[in-house]
Structure 1
């Protein structure tokens, strides 16, 4: 039996976990290094986490952060948080102190689950004193240092909470209650928290699984980070829902991934185009056995037709799918069919999901016919509840008729497939990560030598797009390209760091004083 909308009425995430234990029982749910968890074992652990959170005093609706790489404890913590009635707030492992501090303040998080030693640093040591003061507790998922609490010690605190108390808390959680807040930046450069509810999360995951053709007992290697909607929903939750085996992977390395595909007999890999391109570019690709691969799911960037062809011919994927979606609609919206021709998968984002409306709208709010470009708007069950504590931004994004304005320009072709042409917003996508120039500009403007800065996305063969910064130095100040890039690496997430810096005496501006980025994108103007 497979859990889907035809066999079970979706309500909440803790109810899903309990249901998977009933239906899939002692089948393996997660393989993570030396740890193997069955569905029954996973459900038991998420209840232990929830009881420990109750002992901590976490109330329904309280926000709890997770700042850690992919791993079984990340998923156990996430399900424990929502089982206690809390709202899970994931944080990118690439974020630095000031970025984390900003999200702690904006979310009002009461506590945090954090990585310990990862990427050559002890993560909690990055927290500022002010951030520490806001958090009641930091629980470290591996080796903790004082004053932080270790995972096992934290779980032990929950033993004083009877199972009946947890059951009573779970009974208070409704399908329309928030389950997570995923922060995403925008043209303002300030992160906005996308609020998502239990039932719509489960409905999105179910629809996605059906659309791409995920199967019972597939072995899913999840490289996309769990702190992202794609990795969390289209990797972790979907595997649990469909009775697949979830295999978390922490950091991308082509050889490590190819080794795992051969050793662990991986059948499904979701990820951005850069992931598959790097696998194919490995100098010793031919020595790896990829015969177990069945389904490749990509999106979030330009997908060359040649890549789709090679994913099928060289990597051996029987099916390849490409789609389009935003965090504001659960990461889902439209999707190709795995058997579509290569050029359709490469050049379109497919058709709208069942029960979801996708239209093209002009500047005056009128719908446009197929073939005419305009703003892509989405309406349906998958549209977010709104931005956390930001009704003004919510009203600007979701109109009075319930249409989510994506800020992307596209059109429907003669076959009803969505083609994304451009972005109204300045966002660019680096290796599958959304990058917002306004946010990068805001952080880099703190450098003492930078007087003015404008960031755009430029094409990159491996990552799809990377940032390029145009900088006007302050009078009397000096800096080199290498110095500014090195400073950025110390202060913002790596995927946001501009790979190029071009110094200018001035930036082109409109009569209103706004930097005209179209002139920066023009190769002749750029010289």
Structure 2
């Protein structure tokens, strides 16, 4: 039961004809999902996809995304999700580095031509099949003995590789075993009290661990009905909550801020909401209070996680608003936390250890050894403090990473892109507070390039959430004696 194929089969057996997914007029039951996955996995295999190979999916949330992804696991492969907002260059880089032989793409999403973008960016020499997700049904075939392939998948096999940018700016692929992806999804569902009676609106992208692991996989472990949203649309979200009686709505703080300030919210019945899980940014205490009082959400909790360890801490039902807003809760079962500080109660680097820490970074033993020490502790790069009850409060970052709309942005990656621009002699990027997004980027530029041109240049090369919102021209960047930019000085501006 600790593999994704086994969890899918168990869900079909237990929940049968109950709806697993609802997307507009399309409803797929648990048995229906299993059948779609079996036929799609057989289709992958008929075109040469073999156990141990990797498949990338570059698409927004949809039922087809779920089918495409689960079929990768069912065919014995490893899933590599790609951010749907990536440029062709960003996507092609990860396809190449992961060695993906199969790529499933939502061609035309947001009015773009993703297949053309990929081919323009790379020869894709290792890719055997480039499939438009809308033609997935054409690829499906009779299952044959595909169930035997699925049954041969082992708990320790690599289930997925999720890429996260490193402080050097080069994305690193965090590998998780099936037992880890299934285990963390099941634990999250248990702590949230998620059951087959829940209707779960998935605003978080499936390419992110928040949407894939504690969305898709938690849906399978609990029997909850999932409602995927391709893009966050406030009116559509309120309509779904009201008409479908949505009970579970996790997301970044920006989602709830939008709901609270939405015109016409008073005319909507949102009383079905019972569980909200947020995190990824500093959460104002007043937001937690308003979510409980004005949106009527019974259980509002915060959590801390990262691609390398999907869920580390989580608040619990009954925790007061102050604790939920000012801490990330305490370690979940099978995980432990400690602060690397000489004196208890002092702040220091957060170290985490346990079953859900990644296996390591793909093809990068040096980065893996740097991240996970000999005793198994993952060095997060975040500075925090633990209270007597073990509740975690993040106080700073060793890395310069900031979080925009729930997505990690690594300034080094943005800086590397901008340094290729004519007219940019030097650049430093920091995160600055934003009421809706949590934080947005601000670039300090030395050179003749205008702010408008810098932003336009970034838009061509980076996903939208990475593009700086503000640009300030400066004569020089503050640096220490070793030449490192003093970002603390920039943050004082």
TM-score of the two chains, using structure 2 as the length reference: 0.98
Provide the C-alpha distance between the structure 1 equivalents of 2:127 and 2:335, rounded to a whole number of angstroms: 39
In the other structure, the counterpart of 1:322 is 302
**1:272–1:299: 8 Å Cα contact kept in structure 2?**
yes
Provide the C-alpha distance between the structure 2 equivalents of 1:182 and 1:409, rounded to a whole number of angstroms: 23
Q: What is the Cα deviation at residue 151 of structure 1?
A: 1.7
Is 1:519 matched up with 2:489? yes
Picking from 35, 42, 51, the partner of 1:44 is: 35
For the residue of structure 1 that corresponds to 2:374, the secondary structure is: coil
In the other structure, the counterpart of 1:191 is 171
Alignment of 1:147-296 (within 5 A): 150-155=135-140, 158-159=141-142, 163-164=144-145, 166-296=146-276
Q: What is the Cα deviation at residue 61 of structure 1?
A: 1.4
For the residue of structure 2 that corresponds to 1:269, the secondary structure is: coil
Q: Deviations along 1:273-320, whole A, 9 cap, x unmatched? A: 011001111122211110111111111111111100111111110110
Is 1:341 matched up with 2:320? yes
In the other structure, the counterpart of 1:461 is 435
In the other structure, the counterpart of 2:386 is 412
For the residue of structure 2 that corresponds to 1:270, the secondary structure is: coil
For the residue of structure 1 that corresponds to 2:308, the secondary structure is: helix
Is 1:141 matched up with 2:120? no
Is 1:391 matched up with 2:365? yes
Q: What is the Cα deviation at residue 430 of structure 1?
A: 0.3
Two-structure CA RMSD over aligned residues (Å): 1.2
In the other structure, the counterpart of 2:340 is 361
**1:268–1:293: 8 Å Cα contact kept in structure 2?**
yes
Q: What is the Cα deviation at residue 417 of structure 1?
A: 1.1
For the residue of structure 2 that corresponds to 1:268, the secondary structure is: coil
Q: What is the Cα deviation at residue 131 of structure 1?
A: 4.1
Q: What is the Cα deviation at residue 513 of structure 1?
A: 1.3
Q: List runs of 5+ in structure 1 lacking aligned partners.
A: 1-9, 143-149
Provide the C-alpha distance between the structure 2 equivalents of 1:201 and 1:104, rounded to a whole number of angstroms: 21
Q: Deviations along 1:232-274, whole A, 9 cap, x unmatched? A: 1111211121011000001112222112111221111010001
Q: Deviations along 1:435-466, whole A, 9 cap, x unmatched? A: 00001111122212211111001111111100
Is 1:103 matched up with 2:58? no
Identify which range, 126-135 or 78-87, moves more after superposition: 126-135
In the other structure, the counterpart of 1:500 is 470
**1:320–1:339: 8 Å Cα contact kept in structure 2?**
no
Q: What is the Cα deviation at residue 78 of structure 1?
A: 0.8
**2:89–2:117: 8 Å Cα contact kept in structure 1?**
no
For the residue of structure 2 that corresponds to 1:252, the secondary structure is: coil
Q: Deviations along 1:491-512, whole A, 9 cap, x unmatched? A: 2100000000011111111111
Q: What is the Cα deviation at residue 344 of structure 1?
A: 0.4
**1:29–1:39: 8 Å Cα contact kept in structure 2?**
yes
Q: What is the Cα deviation at residue 514 of structure 1?
A: 1.3
In the other structure, the counterpart of 2:311 is 332
Q: What is the Cα deviation at residue 197 of structure 1?
A: 0.5
**2:199–2:246: 8 Å Cα contact kept in structure 1?**
yes
**1:234–1:270: 8 Å Cα contact kept in structure 2?**
no
**2:106–2:133: 8 Å Cα contact kept in structure 1?**
yes
Identify which range, 205-214 or 384-393, moves more after superposition: 205-214
Provide the C-alpha distance between the structure 1 equivalents of 2:476 and 2:335, rounded to a whole number of angstroms: 46
Q: Deviations along 1:467-488, whole A, 9 cap, x unmatched? A: 0001111xxxx32212211221
Picking from 61, 83, 86, the partner of 1:70 is: 61
Provide the C-alpha distance between the structure 2 equivalents of 1:111 and 1:443, rounded to a whole number of angstroms: 28
Q: What is the Cα deviation at residue 357 of structure 1?
A: 1.3
Q: Deviations along 1:164-201, whole A, 9 cap, x unmatched? A: 2x133223311100010000011110000000000111
Is 1:25 matched up with 2:28? no
Is 1:401 matched up with 2:375? yes
TM-score of the two chains, using structure 1 as the length reference: 0.91
In the other structure, the counterpart of 1:7 is none
Provide the C-alpha distance between the structure 2 equivalents of 1:291 and 1:168, rounded to a whole number of angstroms: 45
In the other structure, the counterpart of 1:55 is 46
In the other structure, the counterpart of 1:91 is 82
Q: List runs of 5+ in structure 2 lacking aligned partners.
A: none
Picking from 115, 131, 134, the partner of 1:124 is: 115
**1:104–1:131: 8 Å Cα contact kept in structure 2?**
no
**1:114–1:124: 8 Å Cα contact kept in structure 2?**
yes
Provide the C-alpha distance between the structure 2 equivalents of 1:153 and 1:293, rounded to a whole number of angstroms: 38
Provide the C-alpha distance between the structure 1 equivalents of 2:108 and 2:25, rounded to a whole number of angstroms: 18
